[in-house]
Chain A
Amino acid sequence: MGMFFPALICGLFCYFGAIESANVLGTTGSFYCLGRPLVAGLVCGIAFGNVEQGVLCGVAVQAVFIANLSTGGATNSEITYASYGGIGLAMATTHDPAVAATLAVLVGNTFGLIFYNLRMAFYSVFNNKAYEAAEAGDTKGINTWHLVIPNICTFLLRFVPVFLAIYFGQGVVDGILASVPEIVTHIIQVLGGVLPALGVGMLMNIVIKDSIQMVFFLFGFVVCAFLGLGTIPMVFIAAVVAYLTYLASGKGAAPDAALAQSSDAAYEDPDLF
């Protein structure tokens, strides 16, 4: 099969899954859904006619980006370029999930971030135009400068590089993969295994509000590592612990009510008299 169709699909979805893409799916259906590597794996798998390998590449890339964060417009890595660029290139060449993860990090943390930061700097120009339109009460102007023109630019910035990379990148990637020394391949593989630590560390930075809460983190880690439990049972265990915490946190307010209830009960109990 030619590269044209799969490259086209990857390019289009790199636009549809982008954080700043304004499309009918809304952000919940685009950035938070199509933009995730796990979903991108399925899309690329279908585009390249190999769903199983696509999903496996998606899982490998998703592991690295499990805790991708974008707060205050800053991001640790451009997840959508990483997803469709990385998985797309891997599917065009080796189909190897480890290669997909490495390519995704490479694409996401270099080209992706450069494109993203350039755009975030440059769109101030459109913002000024949109502000002027608001001052003039010109709703059409807001539509033009907030939606239409930025989206054309976003489409070009997303679709063109990913399409070209996949359409023409096959030979380049194959060539590089064939010529790097073994130690470099080894380092890349080890690094791919360690990189999720960055995402998880950033996640800890958000959810752990008090250092005493490290206890819950270590609990999750130790139960998972020592008992070898999978994610699904772990989520249930976590939910039960969370519920217990919820019950326990009510204690502060509860004693008065409990006391009142028990003294009432004592009066009503005929056996006491």
Chain B
Amino acid sequence: MATFTPKVVDGKEGLTKKDLNSLWYRWQVGWFSSSSYEKLETHGFAWSYIPFAEKFYKDDPEGKKRLLVRHSQFYNTEPQVGTIVNGIVASLEEDIALGGDIPEEMVTNIKTTLMGPLAGLGDSIIQGIIVPTLLSVGMSLASSGSPAGPIFYIISWLVLGLAISYGMFRYGYKMGLSAIDVLAGNESRRLMDAINVLGIIVTGTLAASFISISTIVNIPKGSDYTALSDTLNGVFPKLFPLIFVLFTYWMLNKKQFGPTKVLLILTGIIIVTCLVGLF
């Protein structure tokens, strides 16, 4: 990796590597600290810019106020993949602080425009694919009570999660606004679609591995009784888990029910079917 040299404009030095690391690390630490339903990650952004404000706006109290206020506007995205926004914003703020001609409103516009798409992208990659995949591998290693499972998850996730978080930040800073073109480009869409396919298949695997329900009904067979679940397993193993997960997905997706409502419906169904003696 090439050594990092800060930008210099009119004898004023821009962000050093240390400044950049501090912007990233402060976001990692403080992104959600004062979260409320009203403001979510908003003030985490302002907090990450405190050393920046003290360094570049030491002699410009009005500029400092404007900087802190524009980073106290509503903001919410996925905190790890979303660091690309922090990176892009760092390159814009550096330019503004060095007297460049980027309008200050642009920073807010970029944040507001990018936070939605990156929340969707980030949630599906991090919470939807990487974390469940690594966890399910960890769980299979831990099934006999071995600490190897949690240790596998801790190490693999820290390596991958930190690489994504720091990598996206530095990429956003390096590319500036052109990062958006790459992100929206054909090649990255193909890559995302492919990763998404992996995620969907793993989701199917999770459904088959972790949802467990089988009927306790016995059916008469000659003079004897045989378990219905044995017969079903021969025809279609895990049929009931499949029915339940498709029903749940249907409620969430087609009926647009909230998770709490779905939880209550599932609980109701299980209580009734257990009392009837089906499960």
* A residues at B contact (CB < 8 Å): 19-24, 26-29, 32-33, 36, 38-39, 41-42, 45, 51-53, 55-56, 58-59, 62-63, 66-73, 76-77, 109, 119-124, 126-127, 130-131, 133-137, 139, 142-143, 145-147, 150-151, 154, 183, 186-187, 190-191, 193-198, 200-209, 213, 216-226, 228, 230-232, 234-235, 237-239, 241-243, 245-246, 249-250, 253
Contacts and interface: CB of A to CB of B under 8 A. Distances in A.
Contacts of A69: 123, 127-128
Contacts of A224: 204-205, 208-209
Contacts of B242: 221, 225
Nearest to B39: A127
7 contacts: A38-B142, A59-B149, A120-B36, A131-B69, A197-B247, A204-B203, A207-B124
Contacts of A183: 274-275
Q: How large is the interface on B (under 10, 10 to 19, 20 to 34, 35 or more residues)?
A: 35 or more
B218 interface: no
Given A145-B34, A146-B30, A220-B204, A32 B131 contact: yes
Given A201-B245, A246-B190, A66 B135 contact: yes
A70 to B, nearest CB: 7
Interface SS, A side: helix
Contacts, number: 358
Given A20-B35, A139-B54, A190-B274, A235 B262 contact: no
Nearest to B157: A33
B222 to A, nearest CB: 29
Contacts of B259: 76-77, 198, 202
A30 to B, nearest CB: 9
A41 B197 CA distance: 31
B200 A123 contact: no
Contacts of B98: none
B178 interface: no
A207 B197 CA distance: 8
Task: Among A194, A205, A223, A232, find the residue whose CB has the most chain B CB atoms closer than 10 A.
Answer: A194
Interface SS, B side: helix
Interface in B179-214: 186, 190-191, 193-213
Given A127-B36, A209-B196, A38 B150 contact: yes
B110 interface: no
Nearest to B146: A55
A24 B162 CA distance: 14
B56 interface: no
Interface of B: 25, 28-40, 42-44, 46-47, 50, 53-54, 61, 64-65, 68-69, 71-72, 76, 79-80, 119, 123-124, 126-129, 131-133, 135-140, 142-143, 145-147, 149-151, 153-154, 157-158, 161-162, 165, 186, 190-191, 193-213, 237-238, 241-242, 244-245, 247-249, 251-253, 259-260, 262-263, 266-267, 270-271, 274-275, 279
Contacts of B64: 137
Contacts of A71: 119, 123, 127
A23 B28 CA distance: 9
Contact of B270 (A146, A194, A249): A194
Task: Among A77, A183, A201, A213, find the residue whose CB has the most chain B CB atoms closer than 10 A.
Answer: A201
B271 to A, nearest CB: 6
Given A191-B267, A201-B248, A234 B201 contact: yes
Given A73-B40, A224-B209, A235-B202, 10 more contacts: A29-B158, A53-B145, A55-B145, A71-B123, A73-B35, A130-B34, A143-B47, A193-B212, A208-B203, A220-B207
A246 B153 CA distance: 27
A208 B28 CA distance: 29
A218 B201 CA distance: 8
Contacts of A27: 28-29, 31-32, 79-80
B211 A193 contact: yes
Contacts of A39: 150, 153-154
